[in-house]
Amino acid sequence: MNKVFRWQGVVAFIVLLGLLYLFSAFLLDRIVKYAIESTASQAVGAEVNVGEVSHRFSPFGFTLSKIEITDPSAPENNQLQIGSASAEVDLLPFVMGKVIIDELILDEVLFQQPRRTPGEVFRAPGETVIDQFAPEDIELPSVDEILAKSPLRTTQAAEQAQAAYQQHKDAVSQAYAALPDKAQLKEYQARLKALRETDYKDPAALVKAKQEFEQIKAQLTEEKQKFDTFQQTLSDAKADLTPKIAALRAAPGEDYDLLKGLVAGDAAAFGDITEAVFGNQARKWSDTLFSALDIVGPMLAKRKQEQQEAVRASGVFYTFNDESGLPDLLIKRARVNIKWQQQTLLSDWFNITTDHTQLGEPTRFEVRSESSPLWQHFAIDGTLSLLADGVHGQQKWQLQGVVLEQLGLSNNPKLSALLQTGLLSSNGQLTVAANALEGAGDIQLSQLTIDAQGSNKLTNAIASALNDLSLVTLRSDIAGSLTSPSFDLASDLDNQLATALTASLGSEAKAKLERLQQSLDERAAATLGPTSQGLTQWLDFETVANGDLGNLEEMLKSQMQDQLDKKKQQLKDKLTDKIFG
Amino acid sequence: MALFARLLKALNSEAAPWQIALAIVLGMIIGLTPLVSVHNLLILFLVLVLRVNLAAFLASWAGFSVLALAIDPLMMMLGDSLLSAPSLQSIWTTLYNQQWARLMQFNNTLTLGSLVISLLIAPVLFVVSRLLVVQYRQRVMVYVNKLKIVQAFKASKIFSIYQKLEG
């Protein structure tokens, strides 16, 4: 027996396995750490750091600590920071190349935390509206500058009215000129009267008169056609010009309403006040709300892509009908413990996978929290699926009474604004269909206390108006694609500021307003005068033409039949007398 | 040179011919198939537990690893044709759903092709190797040992260092 077996070989084999274990114990963690950092960095487009990785064999799993994902748009901050992540992996599916995690626990998840050193950014985020806003350029403009820069309705309406008048003026004039004048009509009238009133003794003369009568009627029909053409031309011109003149009359008033607030500031920049003051913060809120889609989606897609690349490394792996029904990656349940402003939000994720087609159901997520010192109600839920044509999903959120404190809104040298206290409520929904985003949300900021300070006349006025604000409603529209979302903000803030500024700027503003009103009226009058006169003339044409047309139609109705009947009767009587004596 | 020294030492040792032949076969399997495979853990276990000649095993492993570089495409082609054979699909599908089989990476063209070739060659190689060892010892060993080049090689530093390392 000893000639065949080498029993000390068993010991050697066990020692070899021990060495393999030690190798994995010392190096596996570093390999996993490197793999996560490099893969996630590529997916996010910015530096991702993992503090420590430790693995265990029974039950098989990993624990990661201090995961930091740099915010590409603000590298000094972490977009997402995770205190610790722990996952237990099913070993048997794992040897079949499937990562099946029964439960993943993420603790101390934080958003927008400052980094010790700025993270590296590999893909620069797109320029935002905030980047374009430059309040340092804001100075009080003159009325002329406002009028020059603003897309005035008065100017537009005047141009449209003028163009319409010019377009129809010649056609109406030509159609009117083609009409028979009164003398001609009188001549027709006289000829018809003569024909009708003549006592025809000779039937041949009667027949000749009848022919002349028909000839006149044919001419009258032609004249009638000219009247019809004129009426149609005039009708078209009136239909086109009348509303444009009405719009031109109304335009100065509308422009005045629109510009009376802007008389104190630059129109273009003023429109960005909402973006400038609340845009940055609203984007941060929105980034937080959409983190689920922003972060998890691309990472999962990236993982799927890399799996395909790995297959090419050596040999070719064949796949056959998988009867297990399991996708390559499945996290059956993930509990994410989010920390925000010293409060804890628990979020639950179900069925996180890269192959929703195989799984047959989407990834679900929900974040819920009842009343806390910082909010009254907090709920986000949604679904996410990675299908052949891209990401599909939807997300709804409802936040009520979220307490805001000491929130920096604008830190521009000429306009600084700090939201000291306020309540945020928001609700909305977002749909993703084949990577295309469509959604909208309302953000209401109430019970606001803002500490704003300006450095010139205008920014002082804006600051003063901001300080008086107590309620702002922001409307956000989300569009674009998952990789390049667009986020538009609109609010009633501009109107509120406009009204407040008008009041706060006093006599100078009033003087400007008067000049503005005068300028607008002058602009409208320049076009309104000739155009209105033209329209009035057309109406006169119409009145005259309608009178003439009445005469013409009367003439057309006249008949020679009476004369013929009378003559026929005379001939009949004559014949009767001759026959019966 | 080291490969030749190992082989010469094994052939000239007192190891039984079957020990050398089995070592060559096991070395061939581990050399031809991808190193990081579960079945190679079994080969390693057999090498350590069975009284096979380690020098012959190492020499065979090294030799067949070099050969593998040349015939890898051929082995992948075989694996590819086996895995795509319609008549074998039901077997592969059954294996695909077995965890142990997936662990063996049977569905990799190189792993399957090289393992099939290794297992087909193994019995032939065992018989031929054993026969050659016996024949070598009976007919060639005495003659070879008398050759001046072999005597010079045995007297060289490399051979003595190698012998010391082998213990």
Chain Cα centroid distance, residue A46: 29
Q: Would you say A263 and A500 are in contact if contact means Cβ atoms under 8 Å apart?
A: no
pLDDT classification of A525: cutoffs 50, 70, 90? confident
Q: Looking at residues A476-487, what average pLDDT do you find?
A: 79
Q: A14-68 pLDDT, tens per residue?
A: 998 898 888 877 888 888 888 888 888 887 788 999 999 988 877 888 899 999 9
Residue A136: C-alpha distances to residues A6, A150, A363, A461, A504 (Å): 86, 20, 46, 14, 21
Q: Would you say B117 and B32 are in contact if contact means Cβ atoms under 8 Å apart?
A: yes
Q: A442-469 pLDDT, tens per residue?
A: 888 888 888 888 877 767 777 887 888 8
- B107: which chain A residues are within 8 Å (Cβ-Cβ)? 317-320
Burial of A131 (0-12, 13-18, 19+ CB in 10 A): exposed
A160-164's contacts with Cβ under 8 Å and 24+ in sequence apart are A160/A244, A160/A247, A160/A248, A161/A241, A161/A244, A161/A245, A161/A247, A161/A248, A161/A527, A161/A528, A161/A531, A162/A527, A162/A531, A164/A237, A164/A240, A164/A241, A164/A244
- B21: which chain A residues are within 8 Å (Cβ-Cβ)? none
* Strand pairing category for A48-57 and A60-71: antiparallel
Residue in the structure block whose two tokens are 């003549």? A198
- B50: which chain A residues are within 8 Å (Cβ-Cβ)? 4-6, 9
Look up the ipTM and state it.
0.78
What's residue B60's pLDDT? 93
Cα separation, A103 vs A137, in Å, equals 54
A70, containing H or E segment: strand A60-71
- Closest chain B residue by Cα to residue A7: B49
CA-CA-CA-CA torsion sign (A506, A510, A516, A517): positive
Provide the token pair at A156: 């537009």
What's residue A285's pLDDT? 59
What's residue A204's pLDDT? 73
What DSSP designation does A375 have?
Answer: B
What's residue A308's pLDDT? 44
What's residue A270's pLDDT? 46
Provide the token pair at A428: 């909305």
Cα separation, B9 vs B153, in Å, equals 12
What's residue B167's pLDDT? 43
In Å, how far is A2's CA from the nearest CA of chain B? 8
Give percent of chain A with pLDDT exceeding 90: 5
Cα separation, A524 vs A155, in Å, equals 7
Q: Where is average pLDDT lowest: A188-202, B11-25, B31-45?
A: A188-202
What's residue A67's pLDDT? 92
What's residue B93's pLDDT? 92
Could you tell me if residue A92 is left (phi over 0), alpha (psi between -120 and 50 degrees) or otherwise beta?
alpha
Q: What are phi and psi of A229, to 5 degrees?
A: -60, -45
What's residue A251's pLDDT? 81
Q: Would you say B95 and B106 are in contact if contact means Cβ atoms under 8 Å apart?
A: yes
CB contact under 8 A, B107 and A314: no
User: What residue type is assigned to position A56 of the chain?
Assistant: R
- Closest chain A residue by Cα to residue B45: A13
Minimal Cβ distance to B45: which of A13, A320, A321: A13
Residue in the structure block whose two tokens are 């307003």? A513
Q: Is pLDDT of A414 > 90? A: no
Q: Residue A361 half-sphere exposure, CB side, CA atoms within 13 Å?
A: 13
Strand, helix or coil for residue A323: coil
**A313 and B CB contact within 8 Å:** no
What's residue B88's pLDDT? 94
Minimal Cβ distance to B102: which of A6, A96, A314: A96
What's residue B23's pLDDT? 94
- B83: which chain A residues are within 8 Å (Cβ-Cβ)? 318
Q: Residue B10 half-sphere exposure, CB side, CA atoms within 13 Å?
A: 28
Minimal Cβ distance to B50: which of A5, A92, A96: A5
What's residue B45's pLDDT? 92
pTM over 0.95: no
CB contact under 8 A, B93 and A320: yes
Q: Is pLDDT of A369 > 80? A: no
Q: B82-134 pLDDT, tens per residue?
A: 999 999 999 999 998 888 888 888 999 999 999 999 999 999 999 999 999 89
Q: Would you say A77 and A113 are in contact if contact means Cβ atoms under 8 Å apart?
A: yes
Q: Where is average pLDDT lowest: A81-90, A121-130, A238-247?
A: A121-130
Q: Where is average pLDDT lowest: A81-95, A247-261, A324-338?
A: A247-261
Residue, of A303 and B143, whose pLDDT is higher: B143
Interface residue of B30, B48, B78, B105 to substitute, partner A, most A CBs within 10 Å: B48
What's residue B125's pLDDT? 96
- A318: which chain B residues are within 8 Å (Cβ-Cβ)? 83-84, 92, 107-109
Q: Is pLDDT of A362 > 70? A: yes
Q: Could you count the other beta carbons within 10 Å of the beta carbon of residue A402?
A: 21
What's residue B10's pLDDT? 72
CB contact under 8 A, B103 and A95: yes
What's residue A307's pLDDT? 47
Residue, of A506 and B85, whose pLDDT is higher: B85
Q: Report the DSSP beta bridge partners of residue A391.
A: A386
Q: Is pLDDT of B72 > 80? A: yes
- A316: which chain B residues are within 8 Å (Cβ-Cβ)? 76, 80, 108-109
Nearest residue to A119 via CA among A44, A13, A220 = A44
Q: Would you say A141 and A512 are in contact if contact means Cβ atoms under 8 Å apart?
A: no
CA-CA-CA-CA torsion sign (A76, A79, A82, A86): negative
Q: Would you say B69 and B110 are in contact if contact means Cβ atoms under 8 Å apart?
A: no
Nearest residue to A269 via CA among A129, A113, A465, A478 = A129
Q: Find the DSSP H helices in B33-156.
A: 38-49, 54-84, 89-96, 99-103, 109-135, 141-146, 148-155
Chain Cα centroid distance, residue A291: 21
Q: What does the mean pLDDT of chain B come to?
A: 86
**A315 and B CB contact within 8 Å:** yes
Strand, helix or coil for residue B108: strand
Q: Where is average pLDDT lowest: A276-290, A300-314, B53-67?
A: A300-314
Residue in the structure block whose two tokens are 């950092």? A37
* Strand pairing category for A48-57 and A329-340: unpaired
Nearest residue to A45 via CA among A127, A128, A126 = A126
Q: Looking at residues A478-504, what average pLDDT do you find?
A: 72
- A315: which chain B residues are within 8 Å (Cβ-Cβ)? 34, 76, 79, 108-111
CB contact under 8 A, B84 and A12: no
pLDDT classification of A311: cutoffs 50, 70, 90? very low
**B4 and A CB contact within 8 Å:** no
Cα separation, A419 vs A409, in Å, equals 6
What's residue A283's pLDDT? 61
Burial of A276 (0-12, 13-18, 19+ CB in 10 A): buried
Q: Report the DSSP beta bridge partners of residue A103.
A: A333
Q: Where is average pLDDT lowest: A404-413, A466-475, B75-84?
A: A404-413
Q: Looking at residues A350-357, what average pLDDT do you find?
A: 85
Which residues, in sequence order, are CB contacts of A368 under 8 Å at separation 6+? A345, A346, A347, A378, A379, A380, A381
A449, containing H or E segment: strand A436-454
Provide the token pair at B33: 């198939």
Q: Where are the beta strands (DSSP E) in A304-362?
A: 329-340, 343-353
What's residue A385's pLDDT? 87
Q: Looking at residues B126-155, what average pLDDT do you find?
A: 83
Strand, helix or coil for residue A325: coil
- B79: which chain A residues are within 8 Å (Cβ-Cβ)? 315
Q: Is pLDDT of A413 > 60? A: yes
What's residue A560's pLDDT? 63
Residue in the structure block whose two tokens are 């000829």? A191
Q: Is pLDDT of A170 > 90? A: no
What's residue A129's pLDDT? 36
pLDDT classification of A258: cutoffs 50, 70, 90? low
Give percent of chain A with pLDDT exceeding 70: 78
**A183 and B CB contact within 8 Å:** no
- A97: which chain B residues are within 8 Å (Cβ-Cβ)? 102
In Å, how far is B153's CA from the nearest CA of chain A? 31
Cα separation, A102 vs A89, in Å, equals 7
What's residue B131's pLDDT? 94
Residue, of A412 and A178, whose pLDDT is higher: A178
Q: Is pLDDT of A148 > 70? A: no
pLDDT classification of B14: cutoffs 50, 70, 90? confident
Q: Where is average pLDDT lowest: A11-15, A414-418, B66-70?
A: A414-418
What's residue A35's pLDDT? 85
Q: What does the mean pLDDT of chain A come to?
A: 77
CB contact under 8 A, A13 and B48: yes
Q: Looking at residues A115-125, what average pLDDT do you find?
A: 84
CB contact under 8 A, A316 and B102: no
Residue B146: C-alpha distances to residues B133, B139, B143, B149, B152 (Å): 18, 12, 5, 9, 10
pLDDT classification of B28: cutoffs 50, 70, 90? very high
Chain Cα centroid distance, residue B126: 10
- Closest chain B residue by Cα to residue A318: B107
Residue in the structure block whose two tokens are 């032939």? B124
**A318 and B CB contact within 8 Å:** yes
B:80-119 residues touching chain A, CB 8 A cutoff: 80, 83-84, 89, 92-93, 96-97, 99, 102-103, 105, 107-111
- A3: which chain B residues are within 8 Å (Cβ-Cβ)? 16, 51
Minimal Cβ distance to B49: which of A6, A92, A97: A6
